[in-house]
Amino acid sequence: MRRYSPIIIIFLLTIPAVTGTLSFYALDSTADEQELVLYSGRSESLVGPLVEQFEERHGIKVRVRYGATTQLSIALHEEGRRSPADIFWAQDRGALDAMDSSGLLSTLSESIQALRPVSFQPYVGNWIATSGRARVLAYSPERVDKENLPVSVFDLTDAAWQGRVGWAPTNASFQSFVTSMRTQYGDAKTREWLSGMKSNQAQSYGSNVPILQGIASGEIDLGITNHYYLYRLKDADSEFPVEQTTFQKGDIGNLVNVAGIGILQSSSKQDNAEKFIRFVLSNESQVFFTEEIKEYPVMEGMAPASGLMDQESLMAYAPELHLDKQDDLQGTLQLMMEVGIL
């Protein structure tokens, strides 16, 4: 056995080697009384510039952890009361509702609640909507006549559209659309629609962009997506051969989803955190959202970027919602799985 004792030396060498390398990094202990910690499920390109402006204006430093909304939300559950985070900014309300039901979000002050954009966020929760994204019908103007487009998302199961429609079952916005359909029309009708779509050979895509590229490439002729992706693709290529439109007024297919922001129960900096939320809802931030990424501003009287509908017609087309926070994403995923699309 003695012949192999070099391993012991190696082990002994490994420990200083590892710790030595690591000690290059001083521990992060610059915790500042004022400083805010933001967990952002929205990307750096969107949040970074706003954070800089906020720091400049209020002299409060904000440190951000960027990630995917779902993963951050699970991590926040895991951290529980020991979370270093003060604010959570999520891509979709599903994550915020789940946090709220687990008691992880702290009650917002009256003055912040007063800012809640009622038409975008019909029920009171411990978070506030920050911007809206509409579900739309994308189509190929070359292969489909605008007059012949389906007027309701329920018409997509017609034989005329067999194999011609694209959707993205793993996409969170799609799932929240299905959830709304369930609250509005019941599970039976939703199941019927989902399996109707499946037997009508709806094509599954991993996200919204490939749906649009699929339409451009002639794989499919219609697709149900979020509204802003097409603008971004058209920014890069103005000739991109896809157009989009809404279904008839009030159709569930025109659902408007929101991104939202909330303060964590574990935070001891409620005041500063509320300052940040107020800043996100301010005119200049809202203009930034709509101009930069073509989402819908949620605050009243804000003009959306050119090409988007004004808020009034957006709301006229959007379905009237009977949402509440007991919305059940779990049930939606279960249903989608039973139908065999997830």
Partner 1 sequence: MYLVIRALDAEPATLQAILLQPRNVVLFVNTILLTVAVIIGSLMIAMPLAWLTTRCDIHGRRLFSVLGMFPLAMPAYLMAYCYIALSGSYGSFAQVFSITLPRLGGFWGAALVLSACNYPYLYLNLRSAMLGLDPSLEEVAKSLGQSRWNTLWRVILPQLLPACYSGFLLTGLHVLNDFGAVSLMGYETFSYAIYRQYMAGFDRTYAAWLALMLIALTGLVLLLEGYLLRKSRFDRTTAVGSRRARRVQLGKWKIPGYAFLVGQVFCFVVLPLFTLIFWGLQGDSWSVWPRLLEAAWGSTRASAPAAVAATCLALPLVYWSLRAPSRLTRFMERAAYMGYAVPSLAFALALIFFTLNVIPVLYQSMIILVFAYTMRFVAEAVGPIRSALYQTSPRLEEAGRILGYGWTSVFFFVTLPLLRNGILISLAFVFVSAMKELPLTFLLSPLGFRSLAVDLWGLVDEALFAQAAPYAITILTISAVFTSMLLLRETRQE
Region from 79-87, 106-114, 253-261, 298-306 binding partner 1, contact rule CB under 8 A: 79-87
DSSP label at 264? Answer: B
What tokens appear for 186 in the block?
A: 């019941």
Count of chain residues binding partner 1 (CB under 8 A): 80
Establish if 323 lies at the interface with partner 1 (CB under 8 A): no
Least separation in angstroms between residue 132's CB and partner 1 is 16
Choose which of 34, 57, 74, 307 interacts with partner 1 (CB under 8 A): 74
Query: Could you tell me the two tokens for 210?
Result: 């490939």
Question: Least Å distance between CB 113 and partner 1?
Answer: 24
Please name the helix (run of DSSP H) or strand (run of DSSP E) that holds residue 62, with its range, or none. Answer: strand 62-66
Beta-bridge mates of residue 13: none
14 binds partner 1 (CB under 8 A): yes
Q: Does 48 bind partner 1 (CB under 8 A)?
A: yes
Rounded to the nearest whole angstrom, what is the least distance from the CB of residue 107 to partner 1 in the complex? 21
Q: Cα angle at 201 between 197 and 203, to 5 degrees? A: 95
319's CB contacts (< 8 A; 6+ apart) are 180, 184, 250, 251, 252, 254, 255
Question: Nearer Cβ to partner 1, position 58 or 63?
Answer: 63
- List, as one string, the DSSP characters of 63-102: EEEE--HHHHHHHHHHHGGG---SEEEESSHHHHHHHHHT
Please list every residue from 174 through 203 that binds partner 1, using CB under 8 A.
Answer: 175, 203
Q: Give the span between the Cα atoms of 30 and 24, in whole angstroms.
A: 16
Tell me if 233 contacts partner 1 by CB under 8 A.
yes
State the minimum distance, in angstroms, from the CB of residue 57 to partner 1: 19
Of 73 and 246, the one with the shorter C-beta distance to partner 1 is 73
Rule CB under 8 A: which of 104-163 touch partner 1?
Answer: none
Q: Residue 320 CB, nearest distance to partner 1 (Å)?
A: 26
C-beta closer to partner 1: residue 73 or 317: 73
> Which one of the spans 129-137, 237-245, 248-256, 308-316 is the region binding partner 1 (CB under 8 A)?
237-245
Site for partner 1 in 18-47 (CB under 8 A): 18, 21-22, 24-25, 27-28, 37, 43-46
Q: Which of 72, 178, 258, 318 binds partner 1 (CB under 8 A)?
A: 72
Q: Within 239-278, which residues bind partner 1 (CB under 8 A)?
A: 240-241
Tokens of 57: 């204006």
310 forms part of the interface with partner 1 (CB under 8 A): no
Rank residues 46 and 281 by Cβ distance to partner 1 and give the closer one.
Answer: 46
- Cβ atoms of 260 and 90 within 8 Å: the answer is yes
**DSSP run (H or E) holding 232:** helix 228-236
| 209 near partner 1 (CB under 8 A) | yes
Measured CA to CA, the distance from residue 248 to residue 96 in angstroms comes to: 30
CB-based contacts of 337: which residues, under 8 Å, 6+ apart?
A: none
Binder among 293, 315, 321, 323 for partner 1 (CB under 8 A): 293
Question: What's at 121, amino acid-wise?
Answer: Q
Distance CA 195, CA 174 (A): 15
